[in-house]
Chain A
Amino acid sequence: MASLALVATVLPAIPIDQCAAQTYAREDRTFVVSSAGPYTRIADALAAAPAHATITVRPGRYREPTVIVRRPVTISGMPGAELDGEGARELLVVAADSVTVRGLTFRNTGRSQVEDRAALRVTNALHCTIERNTFIDTFFGIYLAKVEGCRIHANRLTGPAGSQMLTGNGIHLWSSRDVTITDNVIRRHRDGIYFEFVRHGAAIGNESAGMHRYGLHFMFSDSCRYERNRFVENTSGVAVMYTNHVVMRGNDFSRNRGPAAYGLLLKEISDSELHDNRFRDNSIGLHLEGANRNQIAGNRFEGNGWGVRMMADAQDNLVEGNVFARNTFDVATNSRSSTSTFRGNWWDRYRGYDLDRNGRGDVPFAPVRLFATVATDAPATVLLLRSVLVDLLDLAERVVPMITPEGLVDAAPLMRTPQLRLVAATERP
């Protein structure tokens, strides 16, 4: 106990949150890296440190060969502690369980056409924590492969300036379980957050903006959750594929514009929930392809070119209690029949009445305009949008439906805009 008291007085520079670890730590369990010593390289400190030691990195720019962590340790950077890859290599590889990396700045990995070069790579590890780090000009930011129970929190990742060919993903997960990714800010990478073969992952409160490809990209990742994230101004929006039992709640998909930009593209996504999201000013708000038995409820589709585009192979979806406002086309499809159910949505184009005052319109609303169907087949016809002729044809089709799907009607559209529980993440500077 005497030595413990000594630690507390001799090393006042150690942050409070490490003091818990100090209760059983001996004096030599904290290793300080700084340009003045005792260790001038992180690798030297790691070589000396036993399991469960803490390595404190003082401010300074460290240039050293790729650092490999083989024991459970905590690496804690003080503000201004930077690892510089000099454009030539990966920076930190974690190959041990229970490693924490905190407060470091990773910089300048350079690019590679042959390997997935990452600033911070974790492989075959349990229970890692990666928090409050900064990644600048890195090819891949954080790369997790075959990990379990990891936590990625409040990191800032900014990719290099340049084209899609020259960037990797911000946070990349492959074949992992039980990983939570919270409150990270990602800019200028290829994909912001990438999941492949992940189970029980959660991405919450992240912001992924200005990606060269997708803000969020996941495949074969069942039972994952995505909540309160913002996906804004990404070249192709968000595209997710081949996954079941996904929960997507309270996300904001905005201003993803371009010929192949989707607020959200669901391809072969089934038995999933899509609740309380906001789709705003996208070329295509929500696109469903081979996506079955999904619940799409309480979302707001506003100012999109296409609100919801539901292909013929998207079946038995339930679209309920959503708001459709200011979209050029609310709903489009390439099929004459529909097995999906539209019920109790609010449509700004609805002009029905409600005689029994139950809040639901008495006249069904057919959200698919003839011209939406025509434009799905022949995209060049958008040039005729707002033509008097097209409006007349739409009107004629309304009276005698011949091309638009007869079954695709909202039998009980809402008369008033519902109060939606949109809880999109707060804006960050």
Chain B
Amino acid sequence: MIAPIALPHVATSPAPDHAMPTPGSVPPARLVVLHTARLVGRDLVRNRWLLSSALGFALVTELLIRLGGDGLRIVASLVNVVLAATPLVSAVFTVVYWHVAQDFVALLLAQPLRRSAVFAGVALGLVVPLAAAFVAGVGLPLVVHRSIDRDTARAAFTLLGCGVALTATFSGLALAIAVRSADRVRALGAVLALWGLLAIAYDGVVLFITTRFSDYALERPLLALAALNPIDLARVLLLLEVDRPMLLGYTGAVLERFFGGATGSILAGSVLLLWIVVPMWIAARGFARRDL
């Protein structure tokens, strides 16, 4: 029986008992993951911060639609929002929630459950509602106003896909930091620093290299640099959708040839996936070794 004592927003008796094992036996990991994810998710959908982030996305999208402009223009304006906001929101939210849920996790671990399963459940329960909040916030206004037509559907889907990937990535990074630090404020600081590093400072370095060595053919090294940073990779993928006329210079041709082909798409997809899997794995390892 899981008591909801640790969770401020969970109503009494949230979980029916049928999924949980009888005392003494170890339940299958899959069940534990799903059940934990459901508990965390159910708690999160009632969380006002998550709701306000969804509302925030919806508000921005609605505003862009009302300010006028066709589908592609809205998507183009949303690119900046998505690249900056989704990593920040998901990272900060994850750290805060992890610390709020400490007692709940401790209680779960008091049961005969595997740590990896519990962690996977919590991570899943975090990422899915976060991603859903983003998709609903951005997607609903677009659907309601019918701003997306056949020509812009690809760009819109790329936008949503990149947003979801970035949400998962930064949730994972935040978990990797949070499980290693008992101090919530320090973890928050570390997460913000990481965001600043990947979202801003990294591009500063790239910009410096590009302008400093502009006499050289930099396209390929730049491509590699962009692929190493999830935000940059998402940005480049989105650029190819929304700034096509701009990108028809030599740089654009290199990009187009790379990401237009099968190798490039598969590589981009795998790098984004790696950026989700690796941080999560690091976080899981940290959690497994942690002395609770």
Question: Least Cβ distance of A372 to chain B in Å?
Answer: 10
- B51 within 8 Å of A (CB atoms): no
- A391 within 8 Å of B (CB atoms): yes
Complex contact B83–A386 (CB within 8 A): yes
Known: A328-B243, A383-B236. A257 touches B248 (CB 8 A): yes
Interface residues of B in 181-225 (CB under 8 A from A): 199-201, 203-204, 206-207, 210-211, 214, 218-219, 222-223
Which of B73, B79, B207, B255 interacts with A384 by CB under 8 Å?
B207
> Could you say which of A128-136, A186-194, A217-225, A373-381 contacts chain B?
A373-381
Complex contact B250–A379 (CB within 8 A): yes
Chain B residue contacts of A304, Cβ below 8 A: 245
- A207 within 8 Å of B (CB atoms): no
Chain A residue contacts of B203, Cβ below 8 A: 384, 387-390
- A283 within 8 Å of B (CB atoms): yes
Question: Least Cβ distance of B86 to chain A in Å?
Answer: 12
Q: Which residue of A lies closest to B73 (CB)?
A: A326
- A282 within 8 Å of B (CB atoms): yes
Complex contact B214–A391 (CB within 8 A): no
Question: Least Cβ distance of B101 to chain A in Å?
Answer: 30
Complex contact A328–B246 (CB within 8 A): yes
- B238 within 8 Å of A (CB atoms): yes
Chain B residue contacts of A392, Cβ below 8 A: 200
Question: Least Cβ distance of A279 to chain B in Å?
Answer: 11
Known: A282-B245, A305-B243. A378 touches B250 (CB 8 A): no
Interface residues of B in 219-253 (CB under 8 A from A): 219, 222-223, 226, 232, 235-236, 238-239, 243-253
Chain A residue contacts of B222, Cβ below 8 A: 380, 383
Question: Least Cβ distance of B233 to chain A in Å?
Answer: 11
Complex contact B245–A257 (CB within 8 A): yes
Interface residues of B in 47-90 (CB under 8 A from A): 69, 73, 79-80, 83-84
Complex contact B246–A377 (CB within 8 A): no
Known: A383-B222, A386-B79, A389-B203. A303 touches B245 (CB 8 A): yes
Chain A residue contacts of B246, Cβ below 8 A: 283, 305-306, 328-329, 382, 385
Interface residues of A in 293-313 (CB under 8 A from B): 303-306
Q: Report how many residues on chain B are interfacial, defined by Cβ distance under 8 Å.
A: 38
- A162 within 8 Å of B (CB atoms): no
Which of B200, B201, B211, B244 interacts with A377 by CB under 8 Å?
B211
Chain B residue contacts of A329, Cβ below 8 A: 246
Which of A261, A326, A381, A390 interacts with B248 by CB under 8 Å?
A261
Chain A residue contacts of B236, Cβ below 8 A: 383
Interface residues of A in 302-332 (CB under 8 A from B): 303-306, 326, 328-329
Complex contact A388–B248 (CB within 8 A): no
Q: Is chain B's binding surface mostly helix, strand, loop or mixed?
A: helix
Chain A residue contacts of B200, Cβ below 8 A: 388-389, 392
A377 vs B253: C-alpha distance when bound (angstroms): 18
Chain A residue contacts of B73, Cβ below 8 A: 326
Interface size class of A (residues with CB under 8 A): 20 to 34
- A233 within 8 Å of B (CB atoms): no
Q: Which residue of A lies closest to B207 (CB)?
A: A384
Complex contact B211–A374 (CB within 8 A): yes
- A281 within 8 Å of B (CB atoms): yes
Chain B residue contacts of A389, Cβ below 8 A: 199-201, 203-204, 207
Q: Which residue of A lies closest to B85 (CB)?
A: A388
A261 vs B248: C-alpha distance when bound (angstroms): 9
- A258 within 8 Å of B (CB atoms): yes
Q: Which residue of A lies closest to B250 (CB)?
A: A259
A391 vs B214: C-alpha distance when bound (angstroms): 21
Chain B residue contacts of A380, Cβ below 8 A: 210, 214, 218-219, 222, 250-251
Chain A residue contacts of B251, Cβ below 8 A: 379-380, 382-383
Question: Least Cβ distance of B206 to chain A in Å?
Answer: 6
Q: Which residue of A lies closest to B236 (CB)?
A: A383
Question: Least Cβ distance of B157 to chain A in Å?
Answer: 18
* Binary B-proximity of A333-375 (CB < 8 A = 1, otherwise 0): 0000000000000000000000000000000000000000010
Question: Least Cβ distance of B251 to chain A in Å?
Answer: 5
Which of A304, A386, A390: most chain B CB closer than 10 A?
Answer: A386
A390 vs B232: C-alpha distance when bound (angstroms): 12
Q: Which residue of A lies closest to B255 (CB)?
A: A383
Which of B206, B243, B249, B251: most chain A CB closer than 10 A?
Answer: B249
Top-9 shortest CB links A-B = A305-B246, A378-B214, A389-B203, A328-B246, A305-B245, A387-B203, A283-B248, A381-B210, A388-B84
17 contacts between A and B (CB under 8 A): A259-B252, A282-B245, A306-B246, A378-B210, A379-B250, A380-B214, A380-B219, A381-B214, A382-B243, A382-B246, A384-B207, A385-B239, A385-B243, A386-B243, A388-B203, A389-B199, A392-B200
List chain B positions with a Cβ less than 8 A from chain A. 69, 73, 79-80, 83-84, 199-201, 203-204, 206-207, 210-211, 214, 218-219, 222-223, 226, 232, 235-236, 238-239, 243-253, 255
Q: Could you list 10 further interchain pairs (A-B, Cβ under 8 angstroms) beyond the known A378-B211, A380-B250? A: A259-B252, A328-B246, A379-B251, A381-B211, A383-B223, A383-B239, A385-B239, A387-B83, A388-B203, A389-B201
